[in-house]
Chains A and B, each alone.
Chain A
Amino acid sequence: MKTNRQRALRTAGFSVLGLAFVLALGLTATGTQLFAGGSAEGNPARAAGVALEGAGASFPAPLITAMADEYRDYTGGRITVNYQSIGSGGGIRQFIEQTIMFGATERYLSDEQVAEIEASTGGTAFNMPITLGSVAPTYNIPGVDTGLVFTGEVLVDMYRGEITHWNDPRIVELNPGVDLPAVPVQIVHRSDGSGTTNVWTDYFSKVSGWWADNVGFGTSVDWPRGTGANGNEGVAGVVQTTPGALGYNSLVYATLNDIPYGAVINSSGETILPDLPTTSAAANIDLPADTRVSITDTPAADGYPIASFAWVMVYERLDANSAIETREQAEELVRFLYWTITDGQELSEPLDFARLPQAAVDRATDMLRRLTWNGEAVGAEVIAAIAQR
């Protein structure tokens, strides 16, 4: 009991430390740029500021907010980007209702949603990758640290109740030399709708026919068993206070809070511990032009199999989005989005986000090139102008 409490206090301490760390990084990043931004002071365009409005997923919010701060300084305070972290569902809704200039989501627009947008605006809606996240199996087994090895099938069978104890022969076989106790497995899942759940269950649906037929994937699913906890912090809390617990957390959260997490054997048979390089590697595959693709169970040999893009949604015909009123706003939006997938990516690793692989940056650039304003190719013009500089 006492150890649980101590662990809980330690967790709380770590979260605070983690937050402070992220804040400090953000501050230093903006701090250095404040001086660099000074050179843009003389820019004549500075007088008229442009505000870009976006909203959506909470997972990429720390990155997009940091990018927004950095970009404001980069443009000498001329461009402000307001991003509201309201969740993927809200982001998609506001994007379709055209109250925001760009949306962000952890779940790409469905074929029906894209078809509806094409019918109503005469152009498509792009899902432009902006960053990557991965989801790690987190656990609390007395005496076992980070690095326990799982396969997709074993994880599914634990979540559906086929494997009930940690000393099950199938787990022991994957982890020779690890002393696994005869503790019952306590399953923990997210109770709130979440992109993290979407990635986790998407992977389960790919590796298990039973899961695909009986549960499926989504931001909320009908879990066969287990305790639901609210948010990454809720799952982490339950995992840390429950011996024998198995949950799932975004990788950033697991590492910042020092929760033991496991490695997963990918489709090439490699044992991959999730980290930023293996997450990026998962997306370094042959991507379709619209990047509306799930990269879980990746074919990349060095890629971690439970990873996903986070996308920025933007209308192909910028003039069709009633939230964008002027051509100047449209141009600035393209300029900002192009910056996020190029120079802006430098902010990823300090904030514990995985960098976009080149394949994804290329696809995203192609999308931006196709953006138009009243038939004029603003996307291509802006990118060409940046390339000339």
Chain B
Amino acid sequence: MLVFGLAIIALALGMGFVLYTQGSVPIRGQGFFGFLFETTWNPVSGVHGAWPFLLGTIITSAAALALAFFPAVGVGIFAAEYAPPKIGSVINYLVDLLAAVPSVVIGIWGIFVFAPWMRDTFYIPVYYWAVESAPALLPVLGAPASYNIITATLLLALMITPYTVGLTRDAIKLVPREQRDAAWALGATHWEVMRLGILPYARGGIVAGAILSLARALGETMVIAMLIGNSNRLPFTFFGPASTMPSVIANEFREAVETMHLASLMAVGFYLFLLTFVVNLIAAYIQRKLNIGGRVL
């Protein structure tokens, strides 16, 4: 057991180390923060920086989590506590099904159905409204392309919802019977049982679910690469294209001919590794703070 445990640690450290050595040329050339904050990504002139992609990753993931979290927790609570068993099992089945849809399928649906629909019903009307009544907003909105940060974020939110729902549901189901019975015995209503007895007990698990969803959003590649519009410039506009760390690696890795280009992609991978590491540390800290039941889910 110890050996396996140590092997996992060695594996993680080894991955980080390999990414660092492969990407060390640009990181050492520009400095750790120099590469991180460089805003140009130009493989032709050989100037590379991670900042546009780091921003793109953080914006899409955080926004997707913010969008998905409360609806997902609501669905989880409903499925675990309120729904009649039959409806509950249907919801569970559909949520699991949604989690199992390959991201490339969601991406294709996004390209051919969702993005054009968003353009016709939302981006273009909002754009023309801004042209007529709020021209000050135009530089913030940008030209209405169908493939942009908003489209990618919405689909990302859709993709991470099942994870949050599933873990919320399981965390609630794991709350001990006595905890509920005690709350009922005090004369609490159903919602009070939920709010005072169950949710505080389960919140460690719920937050863990949210963090797991965030980790998935940070690493999601296919849907983002297909829908974000892939511009390697800073994402200044809502309707404009952007790019994330996984998407730029997936996009440019195959045909990265110049050594510097390849090393820079590796370096972006190294920063992504650090980012997920930091997110996981924060998650562990929050989870420890929130655990009251004395049980780690």
Is the beta-carbon distance between A87 and B255 smaller than 8 angstroms?
A: yes
Q: Contact residues of A with B, CB < 8 Å?
A: 1, 4-5, 8-9, 12, 58, 86-90, 92, 107, 184, 186, 191-195, 215-223, 226-230, 234, 237-238, 241-242
Bound: A87/B262 CA distance, A: 13
Bound: A349/B255 CA distance, A: 26
Is the beta-carbon distance between A230 and B44 smaller than 8 angstroms?
A: no
Is the beta-carbon distance between B43 and A221 smaller than 8 angstroms?
A: yes
Question: What are 20 A-B residue pairs whose CB atoms fall within 8 Å in the complex?
Answer: A5-B116, A9-B112, A12-B112, A58-B254, A87-B254, A184-B143, A191-B243, A218-B44, A218-B258, A219-B252, A220-B256, A222-B42, A222-B43, A222-B44, A222-B233, A227-B145, A227-B147, A241-B116, A242-B119, A242-B145
Is the beta-carbon distance between B112 and A237 smaller than 8 angstroms?
A: yes
Is the beta-carbon distance between B241 and A86 smaller than 8 angstroms?
A: no
The residue among A216, A226, A227, A241 with the most chain B CB atoms within 10 A of its own CB is A227
| A-chain residues with CB within 8 Å of residue B42 when the two chains form the complex | 221-222
Extra A-B contacts (17), CB below 8 Å, given A1-B116, A5-B116, A230-B230: A5-B113, A8-B112, A86-B254, A87-B254, A215-B44, A216-B44, A219-B43, A220-B251, A221-B44, A222-B40, A222-B41, A222-B43, A227-B146, A227-B231, A228-B243, A238-B147, A241-B111
B28-53 interface bits toward A, Cβ cutoff 8 Å, 1 = contact, 0 = none: 00000000000011111100000000
| B-chain residues with CB within 8 Å of residue A58 when the two chains form the complex | 254
Main secondary structure of the interface of B (DSSP, over half): loop
| Distance to closest chain A CB from B70 (angstroms) | 30
Bound: A186/B142 CA distance, A: 13
| B-chain residues with CB within 8 Å of residue A221 when the two chains form the complex | 42-44
Is the beta-carbon distance between A1 and B120 smaller than 8 angstroms?
A: yes
Bound: A58/B116 CA distance, A: 29
Closest to A113 in B: B257
Bound: A88/B241 CA distance, A: 27
| B-chain residues with CB within 8 Å of residue A234 when the two chains form the complex | 111, 226
Bound: A218/B243 CA distance, A: 19
| A-chain residues with CB within 8 Å of residue B147 when the two chains form the complex | 227, 229, 238
Within 8 A of A (CB), among B106-121: 111-113, 115-117, 119-120
Is the beta-carbon distance between B143 and A230 smaller than 8 angstroms?
A: no
| A-chain residues with CB within 8 Å of residue B230 when the two chains form the complex | 191, 227-230
Is the beta-carbon distance between A193 and B251 smaller than 8 angstroms?
A: yes
| Distance to closest chain A CB from B77 (angstroms) | 36
Bound: A220/B145 CA distance, A: 21
| A-chain residues with CB within 8 Å of residue B250 when the two chains form the complex | 192, 230
Closest to B115 in A: A241
Q: Contact residues of B with A, CB < 8 Å?
A: 40-45, 111-113, 115-117, 119-120, 143, 145-147, 225-226, 229-233, 241, 243, 247, 250-258, 261-262
| Distance to closest chain B CB from A208 (angstroms) | 14
Is the beta-carbon distance between A191 and B254 smaller than 8 angstroms?
A: no
Is the beta-carbon distance between B43 and A218 smaller than 8 angstroms?
A: yes
Bound: A129/B241 CA distance, A: 37
Is the beta-carbon distance between B252 and A193 smaller than 8 angstroms?
A: yes
Closest to A215 in B: B44
Is the beta-carbon distance between B41 and A92 smaller than 8 angstroms?
A: no
Neighbour of A222 across the interface among B232, B253, B256, B258, CB < 8 A: B232
| Distance to closest chain A CB from B233 (angstroms) | 8
Bound: A170/B104 CA distance, A: 40
| B-chain residues with CB within 8 Å of residue A12 when the two chains form the complex | 112
| B-chain residues with CB within 8 Å of residue A193 when the two chains form the complex | 43, 251-257
Closest to A224 in B: B233
Bound: A223/B145 CA distance, A: 15
The residue among A1, A87, A88, A220 with the most chain B CB atoms within 10 A of its own CB is A220
Bound: A297/B226 CA distance, A: 32
Bound: A88/B254 CA distance, A: 8
Is the beta-carbon distance between A219 and B241 smaller than 8 angstroms?
A: no
Bound: A241/B147 CA distance, A: 11
| Distance to closest chain B CB from A206 (angstroms) | 15
| A-chain residues with CB within 8 Å of residue B146 when the two chains form the complex | 227, 238, 241-242
Bound: A192/B256 CA distance, A: 9
Neighbour of A5 across the interface among B40, B112, B143, B258, CB < 8 A: B112
